Amino acid sequence: MSTANHSTTCRIDTTFSKLSESSTPAFVAYVSAGDPTLEKCLAIIRSIADAGADVIELGVPFSDPLADGAVNQLAADRALKAGCTLAKVLDLISDFRTTHQTPIVLFTYLNPIFTYGYEKFVVDAKQAGADGVLLLDLPPDEAKLNKEFAEKHELKNITLIAPTSPAERIESLAKQSQGFIYALSRTGVTGAQAAPSQSIGATVHAIKQHTDVPVCVGFGINTPDQAAMVASVSDGVIVGSAIVNQIAENADKSPQELATIIGTFVKPLIDATHQ
């Protein structure tokens, strides 16, 4: 893995601070790392960054992604079959950092991290150029035990908050959040089947009672109109399955062709978010 000396300035905080000066919501793009291959994925995330994405979430491929819908499960499967591992995901970030400074958040389940070694992961992820981690299946009470070590290495713990969370849980999660909060627009697994809920504004408002950390909303956002609607009531829009679906449909294209297709697809979503 590359041992380049990456900046210790938090790219996430810098990005949201700059966006807040002009009251511009952030666009956060999710892709499964290594999908459909590591080479193509690198070209894709560079293209997404060039299109104007503010943050990139990289899903770490895992054999049992229970919180993910079919689109992202298949993406993880493609990546695993193409030989993607957590170590190679970190190499991918290092390669991306040679050309881009867009913040990167690792979106992962516990199993790959603890198999790799939690402390080793935090050190290596930061060294590679990652800025945050979202552990999908880490209970909030357990998260407190890992928070101090992650903070020491300046890797932000991104919090996930569901609309069904009780008021006390929302308060607890919001107060321990860092970087930004991933607020789910609706319940269920990831996927582009259902449109975002109309009650997003109320969910965001409830979270913001307890924190100054930006609140970004994801789940079910596929179109520029949906992105604009969510952007109007939040600090950012997260799009995943819609992008992953485009990757799946064009997986046989060359790295540059695929990157161009994805960049063209996300640009209207980014523009609608930033308007």
Segment 136-146 shows an average pLDDT of 67
Spatial separation of the C-alpha atoms in residues 180 and 158, rounded to whole Å: 6
- State the distance between the two ends of the chain, measured CA to CA, in whole angstroms: 39
Per the residue annotation, which of 13, 21, 39, 57 is the catalytic one? 57
| Domain parsing of the chain, residue ranges | 11-274
Known catalytic membership, residue 68 = yes
In the chain, % helix, strand, coil (3-state, to 5) comes to 50, 15, 35
Let me know if 57 is a catalytic residue: yes
Q: Say whether pLDDT at 23 is over 90.
A: yes
CA distance 216 to 180: 7
Q: Which residues fall within 8 angstroms of residue 232, CB to CB, at 6 or more apart?
A: none
**pLDDT given for residue 1 in this prediction:** 44
pLDDT top residue among 199 and 196: 199
How far apart are the C-alpha atoms of 254 and 2, rounded to whole Å? 25
User: Of 35, 54, 64, 68, which residue is the catalytic one?
Assistant: 68
Confidence of residue 24 (pLDDT cuts 50, 70, 90): very high
Query: At residue 44, does pLDDT exceed 90?
Result: yes
Cα separation of 132 and 147, whole Å? 11
pLDDT band at 204 (very low <50, low <70, confident <90, very high): very high
**Residue 2 pLDDT class (50, 70, 90 cuts):** very low
Round the average pLDDT of the chain to a whole number and report it: 89
The alpha carbon dihedral of 14, 15, 16, 17 has a sign of positive
CATH annotation of 11-274: 3.20.20.70
Closest by CA position to 158, among listed 138, 187, 128, 188: 138
pLDDT value of position 195:
60
Interval 155-192: pLDDT, tens: 898 999 988 889 999 999 999 889 999 999 865 545 54
pLDDT at 142 over 90: no
